[in-house]
Amino acid sequence: MMRQEQEIDLVRKAKEGDTAAFAVIIRRYQNLVYATAFRILKDTALAEDVAQEAFVTAFQSLRDLRMESSFPPWL
């Protein structure tokens, strides 16, 4: 349960522009996002690019996220 509370706190901070908090979020999800992209694309370089773009887009769109607890599926 503590991890979920920490995650919600990180997302809130990131929504306020805290790039250090978003860096932690990236570290937590980068393998999952990359693996998902690779499973679909079957190309290492393209999967890396798509994963990076997903995080850039997520950071730019965080203000649209209404419930911090729904971050993982939103990403």
- pLDDT tens series, the chain, 75 aa: 458 889 999 999 999 999 999 999 999 999 999 999 999 999 999 999 999 999 999 999 998 998 888 888 899
Domain boundaries, the chain: 2-70
CATH number of the domain located at residue range(s) 2-70 in this protein: 1.10.1740.10
- How would you class 51 by CB atoms within 10 Å of its CB: exposed for 0-12, middle for 13-18, buried for 19 or more? buried
Rounded to whole angstroms, the Cα distance separating 71 from 37 reads 18
